[in-house]
Amino acid sequence: MPQLARRIGRAKPSAIMQVAEKAKRLKAEGRDIISFSIGVPNFLPGDHVYAAVREALAKDSGQYGSNRGADALLDAFIEHMGKIGLTGYGRVNCATGIGAKHVIYNIAEALLDEGDTIVFPTPYWTSYLDIAEIVNAKIDLLPCPASQDYKLTPAQLDAALAKKPKVFLFNNPSNPTGMVYSKDEIDALAAVVAKYPDTWVITDDIYNRMVFDGLGYHNFVHSRPELRDRVIFIDSLSKTYGMPGWRVGFMAGPEVIAQAVTTMNSNHITNVPEIVTAAAVAALSGPQDVPTQRCAEFQAKRDQVMAAMDSIPGVICPRPQGAFYVFPDISVAFGKTHQPSGLKIGNDMDLCNALLETKGVACVPGSAFGEPSALRISYTCPTPQLAPGLQRFQEFFAELA
Ligand SMILES: Cc1ncc(COP(=O)(O)O)c(C=O)c1O
C-alpha cells in the first residue's frame, strides 16, 4: 500500500475544534449547552459590507485576480495600518491570503527549512505548533505561566534569541490569554530584538483593534522603526469585523517576504476571490462603528468574567486587556473530585470534560495552548448566556472536594 507523506503524520486536527464538536453533539442530543469554547466573534459586519458585496456581484468579472491581492484591497489595508501608526508601507510590502492562518502558514513555508528553529512563548495559539510541525521546524517554547501574567520577559527573549533562531513568533493581544503588552513592555522587548539581526520576527497581532482600558496597541516597529526590515505584521478581518468565514488575512513587512507569500499564493490559492475582496475593502474603509461598539461590549464582558474568576478560591486569573479570552489557572482543582458526579479531576482535560458533562459548559483545555494548568474561556456567546454560564462554572468549582 502506498504511504502518505511523513508531513501529514505531523499534522493534527485542531484540539479546539474537538471540544466544539463534542459540545455540538451534546446540544444535538438536546442538552442545554453554553459554549465558551470556540474563538468566533459572534457578530456580523456592518450593512455597508453587504451592500458592497451586492454591488460587486452585479459587476462580477468572474476572472482570476492578483496573487498578491487586488490593489484596492492592498490600499485599504495600508490605510488601515496607518490608523494604528504603522506607516510607510507600500503595496510591495504587503500580501493577502485566505485568513491570517493561511498567511502565517505561507510565511512558515517561506522562512523555515526543515530543522530551522522557531521560538515562541507558551501559552500559544494552537496553530503555531501545528504549522511549525508540518514544516518540520525545531520548536523552542518559552514558558510564560500565570505567575508572570502569561507575558514574555526581555530576559527570556534575550536568552532565546542568543541561540539565533530563524524565526521569533509573537502574538499581541494574545489568544488564548487576552494579555496585551504595554508600550514599555514592547519597547523593552524591541530593544532585545534589535540586538539579534539574524532572526525574522512575526507579530501576529490580529486582535490589535480589540484592546481595552485605553492601553493602546504597540508593535516592535513603533518602538524601533528600523526593525521593519525584519518584522512581519499579520492582520485579519476575522475577529475585528465579525468576518471569520470570509477568510481574509494580511501581512506587511519586507518586500522579499511579501513577494514570497505572493509566490506561495500563486501556487495555492491564486487569489482572494473578487466578491470577498469587495467585502474586505468595505470593512476596512467604511464606517468603523461595528468594531468599536463590539470592543466596548467585550470589555464589559471581560469585567463580568473576571468578577466570576476572582470569586473562585484558588483560581488564579491574570486580567486580560484585549481580544475576547480569559485564561484562568485552574490547577487548584487537580486531585479533587466533583462530588455530585463522582468525576475525578486529574488534569485540564478531565476538568473540561466534567464541566461539559455535568454543567453543559464548554471550555478549551489549556493543554491545547501548551499550558495544562489552565483553560480558555471565550466570552463571545450571546450576552444572556454569559451570566448563567459563569454561574454554572462557579457552581462546578464549589462542588469539588
Ligand atoms: C492569534 C491568532 N492568529 C491567527 C488566527 C487566524 O485567523 P484567521 O481567521 O484570519 O485565519 C487566529 C484565530 O483564532 C488567532 O487567534
DSSP percent split of the chain into helix, strand, coil, nearest 5: 45, 15, 40
Query: Which of 122, 170, 175, 233 maximizes ligand 1 atoms within 8 Å of its Cβ, making it the mutation to test the pocket?
Result: 175
Query: In the beta sheet, which residues pair with residue 204?
Result: 171, 234
The whole-angstrom separation of Cα 36 and Cα 154 is 32
By most ligand atoms within 8 Å of CB, the mutation choice from 102, 106, 181, 238 for ligand 1 is: 238
CA-wise closest residue to 221 among 212, 229, 213: 229
Residues with Cβ within 8 Å of 367's Cβ and at least 6 positions away in sequence, in order, are: 15, 347, 348, 349
Strands 336-338 and 343-345: antiparallel
| Residue 222 cell numbers, joined | 513603533
Closest CA to 134 of 107, 95, 99: 107
Which atom of ligand 1 approaches the CA of 239 most closely?
A: 9
- Determine the distance separating the centroid of ligand 1 and the alpha carbon of 311, expressed in angstroms: 31
Which amino acid would we find at residue 33?
A: I
Largest CA distance in the chain: 65
Pocket residues: Cβ below 6 A from ligand 1: 39, 99-101, 125, 171, 175, 204, 206, 236, 238, 244, 249
Per-residue pLDDT at 80: 96
Substitution candidate for ligand 1 out of 125, 234, 327 with most atoms within 8 A of CB: 125
Render each residue's pLDDT in the chain as its tens digit; 401 residues.
999 999 888 877 766 777 778 888 999 999 999 999 988 898 999 999 999 999 999 999 999 999 999 999 999 999 999 999 999 999 999 999 999 999 999 999 999 999 999 999 999 999 999 999 999 999 999 999 999 999 999 999 999 999 999 999 999 999 999 999 999 999 999 999 999 999 999 999 999 999 999 999 999 999 999 999 999 999 999 999 999 999 999 999 999 999 999 999 999 999 999 999 999 999 999 999 999 999 999 999 999 999 999 999 999 999 999 999 999 999 999 999 999 999 999 999 999 999 999 999 999 999 999 999 999 999 999 999 999 999 999 999 999 99
CA distances from 148 to 32, 40, 254, 322 (A): 36, 27, 32, 17
- Please state the pTM of the whole predicted model: 0.96
Domain positions in the chain: 6-44+290-398, 47-285
Fold of domain 47-285: Aspartate Aminotransferase; domain 2 (3.40.640)
Q: Is 52 in contact with 46 (CB distance < 8 Å)?
A: no
pLDDT on residue 15: 67
**Residue nearest atom 16 of ligand 1, based on CA coordinates:** 175
| CATH code that applies to domain 6-44+290-398 | 3.90.1150.10
CA 62 to chain centre: 32
> At a CB cut-off of 8 Å and minimum separation 6, what does 292 contact?
none
